[in-house]
Chains A and B, each alone.
Chain A
């Protein structure tokens, strides 16, 4: 760990970095204490009780129950602290605030494609504002990847056919690296980029800079018409979309589902898997007809039709 001190620490650039570092350094303290204890004890015993004569017979000691209890209970207490501390932080890090800004990340061999809600796209780069909670909704077009931002102390695997997400609030301006941390084939080590933390003002300027493309919701609306969604979903043959996002939907089989990103994706690509109560199983699959980015556009469009606030979780 001396080398870490010499090289300078990795910057703590998000609100969750410092709490994770406190826990990390607590773990380091436990590591150093017990390693030092064991090494010192071994050295002391090894020298103090070195063999003095070839025929020496040392006193035979069977064991000591109180000692066994002590060195069972103390480590239990220490790992219990690590467990509770680590779990509390992890659960907090798994729950994005309701007002987090969604940014969409699609991994493919071997690049990261980023979409912002207003339609701004970037590749192997991610611009975020300082002080604003950002939620990355991530999926993969091929194999499993992993989006890792060491300066923020977060990472999560990025899976094909699933949405996973991480969130963070950057609190230090600067340029930080992000990496693919899950081995994904030949170009794995080049599947990385830079994350830019900007002031909110600079971020707004960046977001609206250049030729203004359509927003994701607008792109989704065009798709909605082009793919013929409106022939059913606008006419009562299929469930309506207004105010759908975030609601709890009753299904034909009696169960319920939360209308979140993963649900909407599943309904577009595998419509037969969940039938909304009161409707027939007539929707064709759009699997293979839409890219992951187009699915995200459609979801953004559905979101734009109104959502129930406070229920945007997984």
Chain B
């Protein structure tokens, strides 16, 4: 979409220095680049495309649910829409979002390196990702798939005649991109830190990226294996999950959630890292309790592998397994709470400004708090037995994934956009959009908590009329939310050509990435920086914007 636009930044309006955007021209220079900053752009373009496709599916879902019988599509199509929405948003947008775009762009810059450890592998990851994405797009174009993003067996292996194999192959392939990216980041953070960049001087974004990468490397192979087994059962009728063939239907759920619960943290931890950066920069303060925030990321990553059974409290899993998984799931709440309290405490006696990125960060804290606390409802066995698989769950995970992960992503986009492009976006519009998103989001998903409490099951194409008013309210909220996302899309594209020149450090923030020109030169730093202070050393003076 924006490849041409990006390369077409005119050099006669203020950005004259040689940088990674104008160092080379032409499609080939982008498609064969090994520059982590250009690869970040490749990902940004790809995931923006996938986000739009997933958002169209969401839009159609919300329109359809305006009336109990379904306004525009048949139940069959409705099932394909929510499946597409889930698969695309989870595997092709949220999981790659912050790691692949901002992790790629920022990790080398934040640690004072020229690039990631394996630049060619990094480019390969993008091609693998796009190949996976194409399989999913093919599944949609060929007629769709209606398994739900969860691919539950034996429905997915023995009962559906839609394009399950193409979609599963797409997710399988995209998973390898996630593994390779994680591997690259782990090695980069271990081996390529500039002199003086100790672990406890690192920006907290890097701690969360590190924890995320470990989860990607350890968890994603399990998903790959699981989907492979689905394929074997589907194609060769080997009994693995389908009892009619001699398999066990719950085995699939254990394997699937062993990855897909950590995947939730793969989506949210990078956002938490971003929020730490934003809160520090716009309060001009070191993050309160840095070590606690850093280690809470590691704790979340570690515990996340031990909580998958909370998706299965009512699945027929043993009561005692349920008790253990309930306790472990409660345990994840603690490091999450520690983060929220420390971010809030960072504001105390700060110098707080309300630029657009900060509005997203503050919005994140509020919405993540609600998402996290409603997660504890679902970890509580007796409450889960009531609201499991209802709209309560839908609302809960959208508070985490949209209210949390996407708010963080939008914050990151607004914070580092001037660094990536050298241009500023209109701040007033950005603040307005942030408010619209916050209001639209809550109006969309608060009614869904109530729907769940009233018993409306998720994934219902046709629903009892008593639920209509709340569904209409939710759809109204979604249309506001949609407007909130379109506005940034417009002004970001506008700013590529017409935005005022940003200068190296428009927000006057600390951090190695802000010591370079904007956009940065091809190899980031003129010479390897020597680090003498921690990432948030605002006490030693606030940097100037130029």
Interface residues of A (CB under 8 A from B): 1, 3-4, 7, 10, 19-20, 23-24, 27, 30-31, 34-35, 38-39, 41-42, 45-46, 49-52, 55-64, 67-68, 71-72, 75-76, 79-80, 82-83, 85-87, 89-91, 93-94, 109, 142-144, 146, 148, 150-151, 153-157, 159-162, 164, 177, 179-190
Contacts and interface: CB of A to CB of B under 8 A. Distances in A.
B82 to A, nearest CB: 9
Interface string B143-178: 000101010101100111000000000000000000
A24 to B, nearest CB: 6
Contact of A63 (B154, B242, B289, B350): B289
A191 B359 CA distance: 44
Contacts of B541: 57
- Give the interface centre of B286, B381, B469 by most chain A CB atoms within 10 Å: B381
Contact of A185 (B159, B338, B348): B159
Given A75-B334, A83-B330, 19 more contacts: A38-B340, A38-B369, A42-B365, A58-B284, A60-B285, A63-B289, A71-B338, A75-B333, A75-B337, A79-B376, A90-B381, A109-B159, A142-B159, A153-B382, A154-B385, A155-B385, A160-B154, A183-B152, A189-B460
B30 interface: no
B333 A94 contact: no
Contacts of B390: 148, 150, 181
A45 B347 contact: yes
Nearest to A60: B539
A186 B76 contact: yes
17 contacts: A1-B449, A4-B453, A7-B470, A20-B386, A39-B366, A46-B347, A49-B347, A61-B286, A72-B334, A82-B379, A91-B319, A91-B323, A142-B154, A157-B314, A183-B152, A186-B79, A189-B75
B389 A41 contact: no
A34 B524 CA distance: 43
B352 A49 contact: yes
B314 A156 contact: yes
Nearest to B244: A160
A185 B146 contact: yes
Contact of B330 (A10, A79, A160): A79
Contacts of A190: 75, 462
Given A58-B285, A91-B319, A160-B244, A83 B380 contact: yes
B29 interface: no
B285 A150 contact: no
A61 B288 contact: yes
Contact of B450 (A4, A64, A159): A4
Interface of B: 75-76, 79, 146, 148, 150, 152, 154-155, 158-160, 242-244, 249-250, 283-286, 288-292, 313-316, 319, 322-323, 326-327, 330-331, 333-334, 337-338, 340-342, 344-345, 347-354, 362, 365-366, 369-370, 373-374, 376-377, 379-386, 388-390, 446-447, 449-450, 453-455, 457-464, 469-470, 473, 538-539, 541-542
A125 B381 CA distance: 27
A59 B351 CA distance: 9
Given A49-B349, A144-B249, A179 B450 contact: no
Contacts of A180: 457
A23 B382 contact: yes
A307 B291 CA distance: 62
B75 A186 contact: yes
A49 B348 contact: yes
A19 B337 CA distance: 27
B347 A71 contact: no
A111 to B, nearest CB: 15
Given A161-B249, A164-B316, A38 B152 contact: no
Contacts of A27: 373, 376-377, 380, 383
A91 to B, nearest CB: 6
Contact of B373 (A19, A35, A83, A153): A35
A144 B152 contact: yes
Considering the complex of A and B, which 9 residue pairs feature the smallest CB-CB distances, nearest first?
Answer: A150-B455, A161-B243, A86-B380, A90-B381, A89-B382, A45-B347, A63-B289, A189-B460, A60-B539
A80 B446 CA distance: 26
Contacts of A154: 385-386
Nearest to B150: A183
Contacts of B327: 83
A153 B455 CA distance: 9
A58 B457 CA distance: 50
